[in-house]
Amino acid sequence: MRKLDIATLIIEVDLPDWALHHRLQQFSADIGYTDITCKIVFERQANLPRKNGIPIVKEFVYNVDGDIHRWIGCEDDIPSYATATSDWSRYTMYIDPKYDDPTDEETVRLVREGIFFHLRDALVAALAKNNGLIIHSSSIIYQNKCVLFSAASGTGKSTHTAMWNELYHVPILNGDSAACRIIDGSPVAFGIPWCGMSGQFINHHAPLSAIVFLEQAKENSIVKLDTVEAFMRLTERCIMLRWSESLTKASLATIQFVVESVDCYLLKCLPDHGAVELVKKCLE
């Protein structure tokens, strides 16, 4: 049993040492009240709920006496089955026993990646319950505050933050995602271990000062968004368990608070230094 401190939420994980993904090691914690307990079990789940459960997403998500049951995994992942209590205080992931083999290098990789990916759902739920969410973005620390650059994959947000790092040597908080929580009435951004293919993340946090939505264009321009458009754009970029009505409502409330609290911009840009300078002027 080990504890992880991610976005000041304590996740207690019960799993074999060999199954722990290396990105989680930077977030180890010795103390702290447990917000959610995650247990990894190498056995088949016997009580499948198709007959006595209420389907939320047919064939994938069921409500069984208030608890959530999910089939998870795909061709590139380990097939597994997860259950969560109605308040998401306990999360259990069942993995086929044939994957309980720490001697096989490829099996170890698959298990670590599978557990790592699905633990993110537990964090998404814990954040939703605690005025938080995960934003698909590449983020920097500039003047001791966090700036999020958010866009669809392939738009160039990582390229943009890389130029910030090149020009001004700013730390990159996360190359693909960041957690945001409302703490003492203000949005705070946190680095998390889930960073996509970028490989860039640090265990750090800072007040969130701005969100910049990127679009590719033939020339650079930037406009400040009103809260309505900022809300719509940010909702598209947040990771949510949308099949859960209560968690989705909680996430939407947090999104509304964020866009009312920080400046949000639309940057139409080329992948050049001029786009960086344009944003820098707005921030200053």
CA 190, CA 181: separation in Å to the nearest integer? 8
Q: Is the dihedral of CA 134, 135, 138, 140 positive or negative?
A: negative
Strands 205-216 and 263-269: parallel
User: Percentage of the chain surpassing pLDDT 70?
Assistant: 93
pTM: 0.92
Q: Does the pLDDT value for residue 229 go beyond 90? A: yes
Q: Per residue in 1-50, pLDDT tens?
A: 899 999 999 999 999 999 999 999 999 998 888 999 999 999 876 556 55
* Banded model confidence at residue 284, pLDDT cuts 50, 70, 90: confident
* pLDDT at 13 (0 to 100): 96
* pLDDT at 59 (0 to 100): 58
Reduced to 3 states, what is the DSSP secondary structure of residue 138? strand
* pLDDT at 49 (0 to 100): 58
Q: Per residue in 209-222, pLDDT tens?
A: 999 999 999 999 99
Q: Per residue in 73-95, pLDDT tens?
A: 655 567 788 899 988 999 999 99
Angle at which helices 245-261 and 105-129 cross, to 10°: 70
* pLDDT at 81 (0 to 100): 86
Show the CA angle centred on residue 272, arms to residues 210 and 284, nearest 5°: 35
- CA dihedral 185→189→190→192, nearest 10 degrees, is 130
The mean of the pLDDT values for the chain is: 91
